Structure 1
Amino acid sequence: MKKIFTMILINLCFFMFISHVYAAAGKIAKLTGEVSWRDRANVPYKKAKEGLEFKEGYWIKTGKNGWAKLSLSDRSTFTLANNTELEIDKFLVSTDKKEGVFKLTQGKLRATVTRLAGQQTNFKVKSPTAVAGIKGTEFMMMTQGYANVLFGNEGKAEIGGDSASNKPLTADTMVQNTRGITPTDPVKVEQNTPLYTAKEGFEKITAAQPPEEWEASGNLPHIIARWNIQHGHYLADSGKYEEALYVFQIALDLSDKLEIRGDARLERGAVYSRFLRNQEAALAEYLLILEEYPISPQRETALYLTGILLDEMGFTKRAKERLLQYKSEFPNGKHIGNVETYLQRIKD
């Protein structure tokens, strides 16, 4: 009898294990446009259909006009905007706890995580450079290259990078980071600001129904990057120089627009030269503009400041070369008066 009981217990445990391994984590409740799936990494994607059940190890991907609402077995939902890729890395639900790890490799999503009384919840949404720890909340997350931007709608989440230091994300706040660095302090999303406009746009592309067009989705990184430049300027004026440099870097990692990237480099150079007295670092920022964004509007100012910094650093000959280059390229430029003055003073 004891052997029979033991065999029954072993079979029951095995059945429970198999049930967990093969149980569906959820299904694609709705989709529009280009949506695809695969059941493991490094294999081709297949076209997805509504009702497709997914399990641990599955990947869901949306194309340039794709949108999908994922309904999890615990009644949580993930809404994926266009150009988004999500891996269901881990999912386990029992009567007293639930755990999940979801890897956002790129794109934008809204996560609405349910939490039942008496149930321990430990969900994480991970990007390559950030982690959002969720107990029961709704938030939106964008992963763009190295950068991550998160907006809180309800509840609270803990946002971290590579270190153990986290920052809280609550309703109507924004937290961001890049390159695995500890996130910024939460910022209140005030009405009639570019940040509020960005949050509204994010809500529309991850709402219960997909948007009619995706232009707003493509503009989101640039809107937030431009806001970061304004915010970084404020931080620098407030004496928070390292924080200013950080948000300027986030702007660089968010946007590929030459004008935005050029402005971010100029602002970083200004912080280094004016406040931190680090002329070498400032010069590096200006030279990057000249080398990487040769047709950007910021080239003129970067070329002028390069000449001025070289002169201040004692490289008179190189300073003269850069200022003469400015005079040749911008004979009617906004800095031409100062350039003429410097050239008269500089001697071979």
Structure 2
Amino acid sequence: MKLCRFLVGATLLAIGLTAGHEPAQAGNSTLGTITFLRGDALRAKQGTHWEPIKEKTAVFQGDKLKTKEGARLEATLADGSKLRLGGNSELNLQQVSFGKKSKAKKKVSVKLVVGRVWASVTSLFGSDSKFEVTSPNAVAGVRGTRFAASLGDDGSTTVKVYAGNVLVSNQPIYAIKGHTKANRVEVAGPQEIAKDAWEEMVAGAMKMVQVAANGEMTAPQEFQMAATEDDDWEQWNSERDKLAGISE
């Protein structure tokens, strides 16, 4: 059982840094701050027990975030990028490393355990920089774009790109330069993908790709943003991006 990977490229306006309002954990760097919260959400500080959180709470490497039904959460990272969760979602903040200079390399890796996440990511500098959003059967390597991923009850991952382009591949990440088998993550659900079944697809803005639990991918398909009374997820994220000065 292996993960597959998405590579995303685009250009966004940089957005301002947001400082944390909580003392830094010993030996750990601040990843960002909760800048919006509607409804109930919890944090497991560095993977410990779950506790309620509120706006202006600082988050750190190793923390886990969980939203209750109907909740919305936004975390602004130290580089100005945004991560947002819908209701009944869980995100693990696995790795964070930001350089002190504006164009220093950064390394961020977060894992979507359940639900859906929206990422509005500032540009990366240097080949060593990365911003990865993983799910049980996908890894999204983001470079300054607006992007969303959601997990279905059947184990599939749906990737929607709102700005930029995405290279979709079901190639296992440990077979990609910079990853080794020692870094391989085993997950329950997705089936192992044979080497001769690896493939790539390119999806541009306003295109979506679905990755089945067994690694099979659909061709990129166009989609339209459509808010309904039951689900205003895309509209809400677009409004938050506009408030942050993030261009379409």
Q: Is the 8 A contact 2:105 2:125 kept in 1?
A: no
Larger Rg: 1
- 1:25 corresponds to which letter in structure 2? L
Say yes or no: does 1:38 pair with 2:72: no
Deviation digits for residues 127-146 of structure 1 (CA, Å, limit 9, x no counterpart): 11111111211111111230
Deviation digits for residues 300-339 of structure 1 (CA, Å, limit 9, x no counterpart): xxxxxxxxxxxxxxxxxxxxxxxxxxxxxxxxxxxxxxxx
Q: How does 1:1-348 map to 2 (within 5 A)?
A: 21-41=27-47, 43-94=48-99, 95=101, 96-115=104-123, 121-145=129-153, 146-161=155-170, 163=172, 165-189=199-223, 196-197=225-226, 201-208=232-239
- Residues 39 and 161 of structure 1: CA distance in aligned 2, closer, same or farther (over 3 Å): farther
Q: Which has the higher helix share?
A: 1
Higher RCO (C-alpha under 8 Å, 6+ residues apart):
2
SS of residue in 1 equivalent to 2:79: coil
- Residues 122 and 174 of structure 1: CA distance in aligned 2, closer, same or farther (over 3 Å): same
Q: How far has the Cα of 1:109 moved from its partner?
A: 1.6
CA distance in 2, matches of 1:100, 1:79: 15
CA distance in 1, matches of 2:26, 2:79: 14
- Residues 87 and 109 of structure 1: CA distance in aligned 2, closer, same or farther (over 3 Å): same
Q: Is the 8 A contact 1:148 1:176 kept in 2?
A: yes
Unaligned runs of 5+ in 1: 1-17, 210-348
Q: How far has the Cα of 1:162 moved from its partner?
A: 5.8
Aligned to 1:246: none
Q: How far has the Cα of 1:49 moved from its partner?
A: 1.0
- Residues 136 and 162 of structure 1: CA distance in aligned 2, closer, same or farther (over 3 Å): same
Alignment RMSD, CA only?
2.8
Q: Is the 8 A contact 1:86 1:103 kept in 2?
A: yes
SS of residue in 2 equivalent to 1:25: strand
SS of residue in 2 equivalent to 1:204: helix
Q: Which has the higher strand share?
A: 2
Q: Which TM-score applies when normalising by structure 2? A: 0.66
* Identical pairs, percent: 25
